[in-house]
Amino acid sequence: MRSNPAFVIFGATGDLARRMLFPSLYFLDADGLLPADLKIIGAARSALRDSDFRAEIETAVKARSQEPLDTEVWKRFASRLRYCGGDAGRPETYGCLASLLEGSQERIFYLSTSPALYGAIVRGLAAAKLSEGESRIIVEKPIGRDRASCDMINDELSQHFAEKQIFRIDHYLGKEAVQNLIALRFANTLFEPLWDKVSIDHVQITVGETVGVEGRWAYYDEYGATRDMVQNHLLQLLCLVAMEPPADLDPESVRNEKVKVLRSLRPIGGADIARCTVRGQYRRGVTDGAAAPGYTEETGGAASDTETFVALCAQIDNWRWAGVPFYLRTGKRMPARSSEIVIQFRAVPHSIFGENDLMANRLTIRLQPEEEISLLLMNKTPTLAQGASRHGFDLKPLSLNLSLDDAFAKQRRRIAYERLLLEALQNNSTLFVRRDESEAAWTWVDAIIDGWTKQGVAPAPYPAGTWGPSSAFSLTLRNGHTWFE
């Protein structure tokens, strides 16, 4: 039975809380999706009165909302908000929280802070007996910088919270298009029989961003594209493409299948470092029509060999995928904000169409900027069409397109965090990362980074506004493939 549920955000005055978490909670409230008696408590270092805190949150929610706030909804939302100021390392902070949480059995703590504070926070919560009963914590990436630091953080969390109480966020799993990938694969009969090495030639997963490091230099330079994007978002996408059909959508069914994929990834090391990986770092160039500085010239920048681009050729050693390359690519200051998964099917085994060049079928699942699914098919050009030749069969590749934005035109697209917060409120961890997943992902990524260090692989330069260094093109060409742009 639910009793006085409470949602507590540590780091309540920070960037993520203001840009994503509070607006998401407000939108959920506006749609009637929050429990009527849910309390929302912000915790952070600074001393703030409840009224000042509410004013700050109102500004943050307004900045995110496309429409003026509904007065009634805002009144309801504001009445849920409380603030608790104090240092995460001091017991008084938890005393204040405990008194605000009096009578709440179901408590969700969102740790929107640096992971360096996770230990102190879970210890403080446990000492104040706030980790017991129906409590759960939500933690943000980065969960470590490598497998060893990931283990340390997870060990700290698990001293006071059981695995089923720990919700590790990967905001890509909250994206509609990412969940739609599960629907596309498992709610249609069409694809599954073709979803393997027999019919699929290779897979490309690209997450391109036009932005640079945008004032996050200090964090980013410690991590780089591989730790910041591949270890989590890109590997999660790969898992959803490659996993076996789970028995149901139960958290353990889905996560068991994902972890099997991660454990089947062939380690990249030795000679494969040069063959299967590319690191890049942007130099000056042009993005979004404006001059862009080089990475080391960004605010806070200094000499650095951190990669802002990475391309990998991954292999999944299992029966379904043996021999099918999965190309992963992500970078800052790319020519377009574009995230997509391309499933390249094999060519027909024999062409009966003489001189016509046949293109193999291609399924593109576009996640960003708009959600779209397209399927490239070979078609016959109508005989009377202008420019058609006298041959009976002039063939042309055409695309069958499904735009999710058009299909659900008038509906506001939820931000990824709304879905995830709602799932956490409902105690459903299907869309959250289990400990063994994050461990397996780090183990695979660590081997690559270790290979770069041992072999002295420095990032190759690329001009801002391009798709990475030229070696990224050789990576696919080596297997006779090219990136789709």
Catalytic residues: 233
DSSP secondary structure of 81-106: EEEEE--TTSHHHHHHHHHHTTT--E
Q: Which helix (DSSP H) or strand (DSSP E) does residue 13 occupy? A: none
Q: Which two tokens stand for residue 173?
A: 């799993």
Q: Which of 29, 56, 228, 340 binds ligand BG6 (CB under 6 A)?
A: 228
Q: Is 350 exposed, middle or buried (0-12, 13-18, 19+ CB in 10 A)?
A: exposed
Specify the residue, 209 or 439, whose C-beta has the smaller distance to ligand BG6.
Answer: 209
- Is 83 or 220 the residue whose CB approaches ligand BG6 more closely? 220
Give residue number: closest CB to ligand BG6: 228
Q: Taking CB under 6 A as the criterion, which residues in 183-202 touch ligand BG6?
A: none
Query: What is the length of the chain?
Result: 485
Nearest to ligand BG6 of 356, 368 (CB atom) = 368
What is the closest distance, in whole angstroms, from the C-beta atom of residue 332 to ligand BG6 in the complex? 7
> Could you say which residues in the range 359-388 bind ligand BG6, by CB under 6 A?
368
Beta carbon nearer to ligand BG6, 256 or 296: 296
b/e per residue 204-235 (b: at least 16 CB within 10 A) = bbbbbbbebbeebbeebbebbbbbbbbbbbbb
Using CA atoms, how far residue 338 sits from 191, 219, 235, 366, in Å, is 24, 23, 17, 8
Sites for ligand BG6 among residues 256-315 (CB under 6 A): none
How many Å apart are CA 468 and CA 10, to the nearest integer? 37
Nearest to 362 by CA among 347, 378, 342: 342
Residue 398 CB contacts under 8 Å (≥ 6 apart), including other chains: 376, 377, 378, 379
For residue 291, give the 3-state DSSP assignment: strand
The rounded distance, in Å, linking the Cα atoms of 335 and 465 is 4
CB of 307 to ligand BG6, least distance (A): 12
Is 439 a binder of ligand BG6 (CB under 6 A)? no
Question: If DSSP codes are grouped into helix, strand and coil, which group holds residue 57?
Answer: helix
Q: What is the dihedral of CA 47, 51, 52, 54, to 10 degrees?
A: 110
Selected binder of ligand BG6 within 56, 106, 201, 209 (CB under 6 A): 209
Nearer to ligand BG6, 158 or 368 (CB): 368
Q: Please identify, using beta-carbon distances, which residue of 178 and 448 lies nearer to ligand BG6.
A: 178
Question: What is the closest distance, in whole angstroms, from the C-beta atom of residue 205 to ligand BG6 in the complex?
Answer: 13
The distance of closest approach from Cβ of residue 196 to ligand BG6 in the complex, given in angstroms and rounded to an integer, is 29
**Helix, strand, or coil here: 385?**
coil
User: Within 13 Å, how many C-alpha atoms sit on residue 40's CB side?
Assistant: 24
Question: With contacts defined by CB under 6 A, how many residues of the chain interact with ligand BG6?
Answer: 3
To ligand BG6, the closest distance from the beta carbon of 209 in angstroms equals 5
- Nearest to ligand BG6 of 268, 415 (CB atom): 415
Helix (H, G, I), strand (E, B) or coil at 331: strand
Q: What residues make contact with ligand BG6 under the rule CB under 6 A?
A: 209, 228, 368
